[in-house]
Amino acid sequence: MADNYDDDISLTDYTLGQDQLEKIENILTKDLVDSGVHSVLLIDMAGNIIAKGDSGRYEHDLYSLAALASANFAAVDTMAKIVGEDEFSLLFHKGENESIHFSKVHSEFLLITIFGKEISLGLLRLKVAEAIEKIKSVWSL
Amino acid sequence: MAFVNLKNKEVQAKVVFYGPGRGGKTTNLEYIYNKFRDRIKSDMVSIKTHGDRTLFFDFLPFDIGKIMGYDVKIQLYTVPGQVKYNATRRLVLKGVDGMVFVADSMVEQREKNLLSLKNLQENLTIYKKSIFKIPLVLQYNKRDLEKQGIPVMPLDMMEKDLNSQLKVPYFEASALAGDNVINTLKKIISLTMASLQNVLK
Amino acid sequence: MASDDDRSVTDYTLNQVQLERIEKILDSDLVRSGINSVLMIDMAGNIIAKGDNGKCNHDVYALAALASANFAAVDTMANIVGEDFSLLFHKGEHESIHFSKIWNEFLLISLFGKDVSLGLLRLKIAEAIEKIKSVWH
């Protein structure tokens, strides 16, 4: 990909101070990576990575993944509207070794977790829900 | 990879508008949609960001009537122009039959046009298609800005930059005002249909 | 890399009889089992064949474009993490969408409501896909 010229940076409706970002990355690491999640991304609906946590053992192209995830989320949302649904509940994708789980944070962000067999889907969901509550509270501080 | 339906006598072909971010790809489709609203039965689908930038694609199916006994439906798509969306941009090119490259005439966008065209060539290669063989039309957009005192590149400079090897039809256009938008569309449709002709016989 | 534009028109050809057979399968196997609407599309988003119960008037061309994009995006995400996610399914309050691959070339998109169980649906779709594949032979 050509990184050698800069795109107009889109203005964001949200602002996060360095403090808040650090808190969020802390939550991602402690609540999710330390529970066995391989990688976790907090992205906005334009596919920008806000924060991430990583076990350091995987080298996935997380920037492409973020762009695809936001585009895909919007495509699914549009399909829902066409068939008369408000939205489809977010599902996860199960693979042999790696699975991906998506959760909305407010209506502005997506939390993407990539995990393997070390953690059960039930536990993952619980951990993700807890992390999201903590992330939300970072805004209201 | 157009689909020719021998049962319904219908052809579906895919035309993709490509080019640098904020170059006017979506504006082209919006103009076409407004101009032919009575002929377009469905809504234009736009998957965009809150900031009104294309995130995945715009989609507009356009019935052009009968050609050689077939009802021809041209599916118009745009790609997201921003560099960071290359993974999604690539997906939109799947099965493309014809392309419009919308270049931005503003002087300061010169480099972006070149990089976007190079990116198109690379992305077509993934689908084993050649930029030199696929039906392609160049559109030099935003020519109207000159009247507002905003510097635009001279035509021969853009031709030399973008079309010296390709040698494809080009139009000077203003997608916002609608200048040459329909001529661009007509040209790419005729090139695309010509390339499909041997299967319609 | 060699370009093969010459063959890009259609990698598959289906004559009128084959298309009629496919639409018949969609109708008798899926629509009559309670599916509201079913589309067979190619990976570029073109509609190859369709069937519906006459009660839903969704914009099927937009749906086909979105569904192929959705599938391609999920497929690419899978590749990024080194996987192949085969199952795609969206559950709604009243209407759900199920995706199945037919070889690597086509997708079968089924829209169904609450009156159909997912288990039965999967069975019917699997049967229909086998029949569709046999249309080529």
CATH number for the domain spanning C36: value is 3.30.450.30
- A57 pLDDT above the threshold of 90: no
Which residue of A3, A4, A5 is the best one to mutate when testing the B interface, meaning the one whose CB has the most B CBs within 10 A?
A: A5
Range of the domain at C79: 13-135
**Nearest Cα to Cα of residue A69 among B156, C75, B140, B138:** C75
Least confident of A84-98, B160-174, C34-48, C116-130: A84-98
Which residue of B49, B57, B89, B111 is the best one to mutate when testing the A interface, meaning the one whose CB has the most A CBs within 10 A?
A: B49
Question: Does residue C6 sit within a domain?
Answer: no
- C17 pLDDT above the threshold of 60: yes
pLDDT confidence of A141, banded at 50, 70, 90?
low
Residues of chain C above pLDDT 90, percent: 74
pLDDT confidence of B6, banded at 50, 70, 90?
confident
Question: Does residue C69 sit within a domain?
Answer: yes
CA dist A77 to B46, B62, C99, Å? 12, 23, 16
Task: Name the more confident of A89 and C23.
Answer: C23
Question: Does residue C44 sit within a domain?
Answer: yes
pLDDT confidence of A58, banded at 50, 70, 90?
confident
CA–centroid distance for A37 within its chain: 12
Question: Does residue C84 sit within a domain?
Answer: yes
Mean pLDDT of chain B: 94
Q: What is the pTM of this model?
A: 0.88
What is the ipTM score, two decimals? 0.88
Phi, psi angles (nearest 5°) of residue A49: -80, 120
For the residues of B122-166, what is the DSSP string, one character each?
HHHHHTT--TTTS-EEEEEE-GGGGGGT--B--HHHHHHHHHTTT
Mean pLDDT of chain C: 89
- C45 pLDDT above the threshold of 50: yes
Query: What is the side-by-side order of every strand in the sheet holding A109-115?
Result: A49-54, A37-44, A109-115, A99-105, A92-93
> What domains can you pick out in chain A, each with its CATH number?
19-55+62-139 (3.30.450.30)
Question: Does residue C120 sit within a domain?
Answer: yes
Token duo for residue B31: 């103009």
> What domains can you pick out in chain B, each with its CATH number?
3-200 (3.40.50.300)
Question: Does residue C4 sit within a domain?
Answer: no
Highest mean pLDDT (candidates A134-138, B173-177, B195-199): B173-177
Domain count, chain C: 1
CB-based contact B57 C46, cutoff 8 Å: no
CB-based contact B115 A5, cutoff 8 Å: yes
Residue B182, number of CB atoms within 10 A of its CB:
16
Q: Tell me, yes or no, if B47 comes closer than 8 A to chain A by beta carbon.
A: yes
pLDDT confidence of A9, banded at 50, 70, 90?
very low
Q: Tell me, yes or no, if B94 comes closer than 8 A to chain C by beta carbon.
A: yes
**Residues pairing with B70 in the sheet:** B67
pLDDT for the residue C11: 55
pLDDT for the residue A107: 84
CB-based contact B51 A46, cutoff 8 Å: yes
Q: Which residues of A touch B (CB under 8 A)?
A: 1-5, 7-8, 10-11, 13, 45-47, 63-64, 67-68, 70-72, 74-75, 78
What mean pLDDT do residues B146-175 have?
97
Highest mean pLDDT (candidates B50-54, B124-128, B194-198): B124-128
pLDDT for the residue B182: 98
C-alpha atoms less than 13 angstroms from C-alpha of A25 in its C-beta half-sphere: 14
Task: Name the more confident of A29 and B10.
Answer: A29
CB-based contact A45 B85, cutoff 8 Å: no
Please name the residue of chain A whose CA is at the shortest distance from the CA of residue C90: A88
What mean pLDDT do residues B145-169 have?
97
User: Is-contact B141 B132, C-beta < 8 A?
Assistant: no
pLDDT for the residue B40: 85
* C-alpha–C-alpha distance, residues C96 and C62, integer Å: 16
- C100 pLDDT above the threshold of 70: yes
pLDDT digits (tens, 9 = 90+) for A107-139: 889 999 999 999 999 999 999 999 999 999 997
Question: Does residue C7 sit within a domain?
Answer: no
Instruction: For A82-126, list the strands marked E by DSSP.
Output: 92-93, 99-105, 109-115
**Nearest Cα to Cα of residue B115 among B99, B129, B104:** B104
Question: Does residue C21 sit within a domain?
Answer: yes
